[in-house]
Amino acid sequence: MSDTLQRELGLGPATAMVVSGMIAVGIFLVPAGMAKSLGSPLLLLVIWLLMASMALSGALCYGELASRFPQAGGGYVYLRETYGPQIAFLYGWKSMLVLDPGITAALGMGMAAYADSLFDLGDLGMKITAITVILSLAVVNMVGVRFGAWLVQWVTVFKIGVLAFIALWGFGFGLGDWSNFSPFVTQRPGSAPLFPDALAGGLVGAFFAFAGWWDVSKLAGEVRDPARTLPRALILAVVVVTLTYIVTSAAFMYLVPMQEITSDRTFAAQVGRILFGRSGEVIFSAIVIISVLGSITGMLMAMPRVYFAMARDGVFLSFAGKIHPSFGTPARAIAIQAGLAALYVMLGSFETVVAYIIFIAVVFIALTVIGVPVLRKRYGDTPAYKTPLYPATPIVFLILVTVLLLLLGGSNPLQAGLGVAVVLAGIPFYHLVFKQK
């Protein structure tokens, strides 16, 4: 077996990875809070389009970076080449210790919560279920990237199909009320003040719904013809997800009046009951469970490539950079993420930890996009794929991400500050342990 990762993924699996990473449980929960806060269908549409613009412009920039450095590791590699190993290490530090296992644990427990509504698992049963699912899907990804990609691809088709079915079923059989869209432009009485509360809630909610489009770049070392495939996969996925979110949000608003939305979970159950009657909540729970399984599979496929790349660079434990002799996958790096996620599920503190790190995670994404003009100036060459409409594309992304950072930091400065502190704590660790390597 070769000591390098094999390029086995084409356009379909790469696109499915991006779509699956973005469409998790959020689409069943986020529109309720956004619609309730904004109180206007037009404002909700505008927010979706703004975040789609941000995701698309960011994806176009990442496409150029992936074309320039078609290696496993994604953002870690781009930050290393732009700013040097220390900044890249800090990105990997927060990804490995906090963000990646934390989000994996959160999705695992979110899935288990829906399973609990079906089988009454209890707190311990939910944790056991989440851990079992995470570890089982980790094994799937260890055995081979092809099978993991196949699973993600088909679950993604299922997700899109289900959401399309919900819209067609609801609108086609007239199960809702068109008056739910009135008033269309002005805010409904009782909505949050537009500035800053409604706008902040809408933008942050939409960002989380689109989050994850950058993860497929971490698999660049296993994508066939990455300079051509990755940009196309990123663009195609963002367009598909944007259309899906807009149509699904419209269907949800058509089915459930804003004034009847009491909570995210209740909202999901309401939609299920309207569509499928008394068994609706059971059917909806099963749909969410399958959807989240695909997202966890994709995360356990993409995220460990960062630790693999770090280990190959000598800034992480060297054993994580080994490729399994039979399966050809970074099995040990996958085991690290799955093991930490399982630990976070047992401790039950992952939601707080992830909340602390979101602000600084967005900062790293912004720094990565800044790498596009920096690297163009440094090397003075033409990469195989160039970001369209440059320099407008990175400028649009950075303007929108700056607004998002101001909203995130302004709404909870202590939380943002603690996240920054967690990342900065990696500096002495880097200098004491890894710098000499």
2 occurs within a structural domain: no
95 occurs within a structural domain: yes
Q: How far apart are CA 234 and CA 228, in angstroms?
A: 11
- Asked if the model's pLDDT at residue 359 lies above 50, the reply is yes
Q: Using the CB atoms, write b or e for 240-256: b if 16+ within 10 Å.
A: bbbebbebbbbbbbbbb
Domain that holds residue 283: 11-434
What pLDDT sits at residue 437?
A: 61
Per the structure, how many domains does the chain have?
1
Q: How far apart are CA 393 and CA 403, in angstroms?
A: 16
Give the SS3 label for residue 221.
helix
312 occurs within a structural domain: yes
258 occurs within a structural domain: yes
The pLDDT tens digits for 192-239 are 787 777 888 888 888 888 888 888 888 888 888 888 898 899 889 999
**How far apart, in Å, do the first and last CA atoms of the chain sit?**
27
Q: CB of 19 within 8 A of CB of 160?
A: yes
Q: How far apart are CA 153 and CA 147, in angstroms?
A: 10
DSSP symbols for 339-390: HHHHHHHHHT-HHHHHHHHHHHHHHHHHHHHHHHHHHHHHH----SS--TTT
- Asked if the model's pLDDT at residue 243 lies above 80, the reply is yes
What pLDDT sits at residue 417?
A: 93
Rounded to whole angstroms, what are the CA distances from 330 to 72, 73, 151, 272, 434?
Answer: 10, 12, 18, 40, 21
Report, as an integer, the average pLDDT of 106-132. Answer: 90
What pLDDT sits at residue 362?
A: 93
Amino acid at 113: A
Report, as an integer, the average pLDDT of 97-104. Answer: 91
3 occurs within a structural domain: no
The pLDDT tens digits for 175-191 are 999 999 988 888 888 77
Count the neighbouring beta carbons within 10 Å of the beta carbon of residue 379. 11
> What percentage of the chain has pLDDT greater than the value 90?
50
1 occurs within a structural domain: no
pTM: 0.90
CATH number of the domain where residue 197 is located: 1.20.1740.10
The pLDDT tens digits for 14-71 are 999 889 888 876 677 678 778 878 889 999 999 999 999 999 999 999 999 998 999 8
407 occurs within a structural domain: yes
Q: How is residue 127 written in tokens?
A: 């944790």
Q: How far apart are CA 53 and CA 13, in angstroms?
A: 23
Amino acid at 203: L
Q: CB of 42 within 8 A of CB of 184?
A: yes
